[in-house]
Amino acid sequence: MSGQGADTAQALVLDFGGVISRTLFETHDLSERALGLDPGTLTWRGPFAPEGDPVWRRMQAGEITERDYWAHRMAETGELVGETWTQFAQFVGRVRGDDPEAVIRPEAREAIAHAKAAGCKLAILSNELDLFYGEGFRDKLPFLKDFDVIVDATHTGVLKPDARAYGFVTQALGLPPEACVFVDDQPRNIRGAEDAGMRGVQFDVTDPGTSYARALDLLGVRA
């Protein structure tokens, strides 16, 4: 593998949920087993079947935020098992169990390894990494140590697509925005990155391999 065009693209910047980890939409079978629910109980599928998920469509239309969407799913899932969760980390911890490695996308691991080997810097820009997963979550994923920068709005209080969020990343990396390729599964966050001067890749959760190939191509990295 080799890096090309280092003067124009020197950092791979990734969202976490959906981009690095498989979405909760993709792991209903694991969630149902973890919660003791019958197979097929969880039916919301978000981007995989938007026609059957009106709450997802409201979020995509900008009527509610992504956090609002997951607050709704947290409340209704808790009701199914007779529990009240007040924090997203409780929700995710219950449905994901104690093995977060099991839901990390293999395509993500490969792309991260290729970018690192080519000399690219690595960053995560998330709206809710610690909020959703809990502060001890990072310790369960050793590969996160490969990242030069992790910017999490759980702590900064600045959510994508606010331009300041992208600025936190470029400042911490010491790179201009045009040197960064940003990957996210939400169109509005991609628009925010592009408005901030980054090059964006709209991540397709139904085709992660193609999305990562596009990001590496923009970096000039051959896998």
pLDDT of residue 3: 46
Q: Residue 217 has what DSSP assignment?
A: H
Options 3.20.20.70, 3.40.640.10, 3.20.20.140, 3.40.50.1000; CATH of 11-21+104-219: 3.40.50.1000
pLDDT of residue 1: 41
- The residues, any chain, with a CB within 8 Å of residue 41's CB and separated by 6 or more, are 32, 80
- The low-confidence residues of the chain, meaning pLDDT below 70, are 1-9
- The tens digit of pLDDT for each residue in 154-182 reads 999 999 999 999 999 999 999 999 999 99
Measure CA 182 to chain center: 11
% helix / strand / coil in the chain, to the nearest 5? 55, 15, 35
CB 205 within 8 A of CB 47: yes
pLDDT of residue 8: 54
pLDDT of residue 22: 94
